[in-house]
Structure 1
Amino acid sequence: MPEQLNYYQVAPDAMAAFIGLERYLSAQHDEQGLSEKLIELVKIRVSQLNGCAYCLDMHNKDSRALAETEQRLYALSAWREAPFYSPQERAALAWCETLTQWQQAEQRPEQLQQLRTLFDDKAIVDLTLTITNINTWNRLALCFGADVGSYKVGQFDHILKSS
């Protein structure tokens, strides 16, 4: 769907807050076991669940730029059956599905325990913030439209790296 409303122009202070969270999260990669590849997989999976074409385009392109394999990207929607995801990735993908599809919330306590065996508490909070943030970006793009297919790898790097 083409852009219907430019939320960056309408609510610049709110968008600055979301971008601030993205800056924080992008600075955390690899420090707590949350690699850029894992974060991109999570963003793709959430975007698949939400049906956000703009974000799927963006995060698939970003994953490929990080040398993610086509095989893993193609099988992501069936990650439970595919043998090529690590225990950390599996736990993160299960967590993103639970937080995105809240009807699965009864699984949350067991999943949190699983996450705690693989990540420290800060990484779990950062992962959770990543999931909630991509859910918000998905909803903004779905509600107000976006120029699907227009994203170029690195397009927003200058925003994420500025202070």
Structure 2
Amino acid sequence: MVKNDSPSRVSLKSITPDVSTAMGGLHRAAVSAAQVAKVEDEILELVRIRASQINGCAFCLDMHTKDARAKGEQEQRIHVLNAWRETPFFTERERAALALTEAVTLVHDGRVPDDVYAQAAAVFDEAQVAALIWAATVINAYNRIAIATRMVPGAYQPAQK
């Protein structure tokens, strides 16, 4: 548990602005690739939430559950996302994306198994699989940044449309 009296951590954006800008560029490029490939926004938010659950990133969970709700995601699906295999609430495409996300996030647990990749390739085309791998990679990087610098959740508000 992070205490309020914890020592402050480095501000990566202030200390290394070029790297921070590059990370933002990677994020924008990954979002663009997903849009071009026509990967559903709902799936991308599920990917971001699920990776953040696995990594224990409170800041990113706060952000992406708010973004998902703002885009119309159902509370029930958000609440059971960490047990998605046990529910009937997710489509075949969502299940394939979640399995791929888990494999990418937990790559140290046996890499990305062929059956997980094949499941994704069966319901997504190559551009979509690539976009999902980039989405999972970017959120995992952001999770590590937020955790290492102890970014505080709570203040984020989704953009108004």
TM-score (norm 2): 0.89
Per-residue CA deviation, residues 94-143 of structure 1 (Å, 9 max, x unaligned), is 11111111244355211111111111111111111111111110001101
TM-score (norm 1): 0.88
Cα distance in structure 1, aligned partners of 2:150 and 2:92: 35
How many residue pairs get aligned? The number is 156
Aligned to 1:112: 117
Between the two proteins, what is the percent identity of the paired residues? 37
Aligned to 1:62: 67
Could you tell me which amino acid in structure 1 is paired with residue 29 of structure 2?
Answer: Y
Cα distance in structure 2, aligned partners of 1:112 and 1:137: 23
CA RMSD, 1 decimal: 1.9
Per-residue CA deviation, residues 2-49 of structure 1 (Å, 9 max, x unaligned), is 751111111111111111122122224454241111100110000000
| Alignment of 1:44 onto 2:49 | yes
Change (3 A) 1:108 1:37: same
Aligned to 1:121: 126
Aligned to 2:97: 92
Q: In the TM superposition, what is the alpha-carbon distance from 1:89 to its structure 2 partner?
A: 0.6
Change (3 A) 1:126 1:107: closer
Gaps of 5+ in 1: 158-163
Which stretch shifts more, 18-27 or 88-97?
Answer: 18-27
Aligned to 1:138: 143
| Alignment of 1:17 onto 2:17 | no
